[in-house]
A and B are shown apart, each in its own frame.
Chain A
Amino acid sequence: MSTARYWREIPQRYRLESGKCKKCGKSFIPPRMVCDACGSREFDQVRASDEGTLVSYTVIRVAPGEFSDEAPYAVGIIQLKDGPRLTAQIADCDFDELEIGKKVRIEFRKIYEQGQAGVICYGYKGVLV
């Protein structure tokens, strides 16, 4: 991955920066240029809440190359308190503890490491609270 491709996603991946529609209030991660609910093109830049709940989850047993050393690992869809949803890994959990509706907190974590001295990729993961 080129550093520019990585770098331009940093605000939302590192700091959960969302775009909140000025007209209808819907929030998006990553921010968008057009609201899919009302068509407005005006947004406020807002830091999303790091509190959420688990909408669904799975445990990835067969992983793509960059994650193959990590498998098995849990992944979930998380509904954040103030609107947007994310797909993220659920870190540091016993898989048996996973349950739809459980409270999750978003943390800043390392996602994976590119081989041959490539970029170390950071972003968000959920942890059960």
Chain B
Amino acid sequence: MRDVAIIGVGMIKWGELWNKSLRQMFVEAALNAIDDAGTDHIDSMYVGCMTSGVFVGQEHLGSVLSDYLGAKNIPAVRVESACASGGVAVRTAYMDVASGMHDIVLAGGVEKMTDVSGSEATYALATAADREYEAYNGVTFPGLYALIARRHMHEFGTTREQLAHVAVKNHRHGAKNPNAQYPFEISVERVLESVLVADPLRILDCSPITDGAAAVILCPADVASKLSKKPPVKIVGTGHATDTIALHSRKDITWLDAVNKSAQQAYKQAGVKLEDIDVAEVHDCFTIAEICVLEALGLAEKGKGGTAAESGMTALGGKIPVNTSGGLKSKGHPVGATGVAQVCEIVEQLRGDSGERQVKGATAGLTQNMGGSGGSSVVHILKKA
């Protein structure tokens, strides 16, 4: 296996992008990454996208997007693992480069979510749950995470305010991110007064519906500094795991086993200790998700994740800043693009390019991207080369 580096990252401003199509968003982000890397070609491409078939009636994205990117004839394929599709695209590109099959590989992610009504979007997202045994009975994604939250509060004494602190912290970070969909601050009171979606979760506990895309360029680490003027960042560990599709099939619904297993693989490969990680981007699709993810990653003790945001540990300036980009909550959550954008944020942090939200002296970072109610998870560990 060859060592792999990231030499280019590309984002666009996320939001309700009425005037941009799926292919336009993707190509913009991909060109930003290609220009950032300074490469004149790519050898292959992986596209993370959850459900363009349901959202815009378009499948066969490998061909659509390589065609519009002007990279006709390269091998290009879409990969899917619900909201973890972007993370899986990066991991697949990593394997492609590490194996020696291709040298310059683009991993991108895209989702066009606002061309359908709210109820159609809810249906599209519910395809990531157990269609016949969860969604059939009327449970929604906020509902599934509400079931986790209620149980977490019951078992560990996690408070409603602690959930709110996750959203407040991520909005404080996102307010410093020009690409965020909702770049403004909110207060604990505002979260607690916002409309109930699925008790105990309120609308300001939930990530939004977003249009967006992101892309990164990977290459063998030994040629990275020759190909690019930007400081290369190495992918030193990667992990991917699955869990039961239905939340109710798990013995402990507050424990995200796929997150834990994918993290263990990545830690082992990277040979890093948790103390070495300076910054992390994790999957806060709902406030309770960030709390459970911190526990499964080992960044908080089991049952104690609720205190992390409240204590300031995970805020900029804290022991381990989490979701400096604003996270899914403030930056937005175009499901297929999320896992790729997490990698863009960590690469910029390790290059020292994060401006107002820079974690000083960051040398190692982690990304964690999750599908469904924890049915899949991908973790990457990145290090300054």
Residues of A within 8 A of B (CB): 9, 29-30, 36, 55-65, 67-68, 70, 73, 75-78, 85-89, 95, 100, 111-112, 121, 123, 125
Contact = CB atoms under 8 A, between A and B. Distances in A.
Contacts, number: 97
B301 interface: no
A61 B196 contact: yes
B135 interface: yes
Contacts of A61: 195-199
B30 to A, nearest CB: 33
Interface string B96-122: 000000000000000000000001101
Interface in B139-161: 139-140, 142-143, 146-148, 150-151, 154
Contacts of B201: 58
A125 B139 CA distance: 12
Contact of A77 (B196, B244, B247): B247
B19 interface: no
- What are the 10 tightest A-B residue pairs by CB atom distance, in nearest-first order? A58-B146, A56-B151, A85-B248, A65-B119, A56-B147, A67-B138, A59-B199, A77-B248, A58-B198, A64-B122
Contacts of B135: 64
Interface stretch (B126-134, B290-298, B358-366): B126-134
A65 B123 contact: yes
Interface residues of B, number: 36
Contact of B119 (A36, A68, A73): A68
B253 A111 contact: no
Given A73-B138, A77-B253, A89-B138, A58 B150 contact: yes
Given A56-B253, A87-B133, A88-B137, A100 B154 contact: yes
Contact of B247 (A36, A87, A89, A121): A87
B198 A56 contact: no
A30 B135 CA distance: 14
B249 interface: yes
A87 B248 contact: yes
Given A61-B198, A70-B138, 17 more contacts: A9-B132, A55-B151, A56-B150, A56-B253, A58-B147, A60-B139, A61-B199, A62-B122, A62-B142, A64-B122, A75-B139, A77-B247, A78-B248, A87-B133, A87-B246, A89-B137, A111-B138
A29 B138 CA distance: 17
Interface of B: 119-120, 122-123, 126, 130, 132-140, 142-143, 146-148, 150-151, 154, 195-201, 244, 246-249, 253
A34 to B, nearest CB: 13
Contacts of A55: 151, 248, 253
B198 A60 contact: yes
A111 B199 CA distance: 21
Contacts of B244: 36
A36 B243 CA distance: 11
Contacts of A89: 137-138
B154 A60 contact: no
A62 to B, nearest CB: 5
B143 A58 contact: yes
Contacts of B138: 60, 63-64, 67, 70, 73, 75, 89, 111-112
12 contacts: A30-B133, A58-B199, A64-B126, A75-B137, A75-B143, A77-B248, A87-B246, A89-B137, A95-B199, A100-B154, A111-B137, A121-B136
Contacts of B134: 87
A63 B196 CA distance: 12
Nearest to A58: B146
Scoring B130, B201, B244, B248 by chain A CB atoms within 10 A of each residue's CB, the highest score goes to: B248
Given A65-B119, A65-B123, A123 B139 contact: no
A82 B201 CA distance: 31
A61 to B, nearest CB: 5
A65 B244 CA distance: 26
A74 to B, nearest CB: 9
Scoring A58, A64, A121, A123 by chain B CB atoms within 10 A of each residue's CB, the highest score goes to: A58
Contacts of B139: 60, 75, 87
B163 to A, nearest CB: 13
Contacts of A86: 133, 248
B204 to A, nearest CB: 14
